[in-house]
Amino acid sequence: MKENNIKSKIRGAYLISLISISMVLLLLGIVGLLILNAQVLSKYVKENMCFSLIIKDNVKEPDIKLYQKTLDTYPFIKSTEYITKERAAKSLQEELGEDFIETLGYNPLSPTINVFLNSEYSNPDSIANLEKFFLSSTEIVDEVAYQQNLVHLINDNVKKISAILLFFSAALFLISFALLNNTVRLMIYSKRFTINTMKLVGAKNNFIRKPFLTSGALQGFYSSLIAIAILSVIFYLMNQQLGEIVSLMDINIIILLYLIIVLCGILLTTVSTYFSINKYLKLKSSNLYY
């Protein structure tokens, strides 16, 4: 009966330790998720910033479409959209709620090509250089129109948010490591008498370390699987609420995040176990009670 109670306590302690490490690894996974989402969201916002190339009125539609195809070949352009005079007028009529063409007697709007840049080129300096390029490289573009203040505002906010997330992520990582290290140390502390007994019967340090390191690595592996399962649920819930953003995340990056969690689980628990057990290998029997 007493032996069963001891086994039950050992299983309980192991389970608590497993859950504690899982929560720490989940915290690390959330840190990675925050970093990934910050990058994805930043890329999404930048690549959806649009500026318009206003085409001269005397340019024929085949020439405009040919120029659009040329634009699509440039490496800094993600995509383009050709807006005819008629389509532009229809959109404006829907916004105004009245037929301004009937009032004016003609369509004053020009055909335009909306340009969406790749994220690395969606900054004020690059856009300013591209504005000069589009005006000088062809004769069919009359004007380049974009909201300059919005471009500056978006880039400034992305930098601020990235800096805050980086600081927050670093703090969470340090807290996570400290919690995991304390959990492992408490687990080893509960087995300090077993370690001392093995020393007394003449077991070598490597022989004593081996089962503890193996157990720590397995515990880290199992804990990482639990953390990944919970993180997958979080991904699912996020996909329900922010499907368009989450769908932009590369599945390979998500798999890489999962692999990092597994490696962190195994590596951190093994390293913490190694240093914790070394402490008790060097400890004198008289100090085991302190």
Say whether both 77 and 214 belong to one domain.
no
Least-confidence region, from 141-145, 212-216, 219-223, 245-249: 245-249
Residue where a domain terminates, one of 145, 167, 196: 145
Domain that holds residue 219: 2-44+154-287
For residue 6, what pLDDT is reported?
A: 45
Say whether both 120 and 87 belong to one domain.
yes
Residue where a domain terminates, one of 145, 163, 198: 145
Say whether both 63 and 118 belong to one domain.
yes
CATH of the domain at 111: 3.30.70.3040
The pLDDT of 89-110, averaged and rounded, is 72
Q: Quick check: 207 pLDDT over 50? A: yes
The pLDDT of 49-65, averaged and rounded, is 85
Of 121, 133, 102, 114, the residue nearest 51 (C-alpha): 114
Say whether both 40 and 164 belong to one domain.
yes
Q: Quick check: 71 pLDDT over 60? A: yes
Say whether both 162 and 40 belong to one domain.
yes
Say whether both 237 and 256 belong to one domain.
yes
Say whether both 30 and 165 belong to one domain.
yes
The pLDDT of 164-179, averaged and rounded, is 73
Q: Quick check: 12 pLDDT over 70? A: no
Phi, psi of 79 (to 5 degrees): -160, 165
Say whether both 93 and 126 belong to one domain.
yes
Of 182, 177, 266, the residue nearest 219 (C-alpha): 266
CA distance 24 to 175: 9
pLDDT tier, 225 (very low <50, low <70, confident <90, very high otherwise): very high
Of 277, 264, 282, the residue nearest 213 (C-alpha): 277
The pLDDT of 103-117, averaged and rounded, is 79
Say whether both 140 and 101 belong to one domain.
yes
CA distance 105 to 215: 83
Say whether both 195 and 269 belong to one domain.
yes
- Count of structural domains, the chain: 2
For residue 1, what pLDDT is reported?
A: 47
87 against 107, higher pLDDT: 87
For residue 283, what pLDDT is reported?
A: 65
Q: What percent of the chain has pLDDT over 90?
A: 3
Say whether both 198 and 229 belong to one domain.
yes
Least-confidence region, from 1-10, 136-145, 196-205, 274-283: 1-10
Say whether both 20 and 134 belong to one domain.
no
For residue 2, what pLDDT is reported?
A: 43
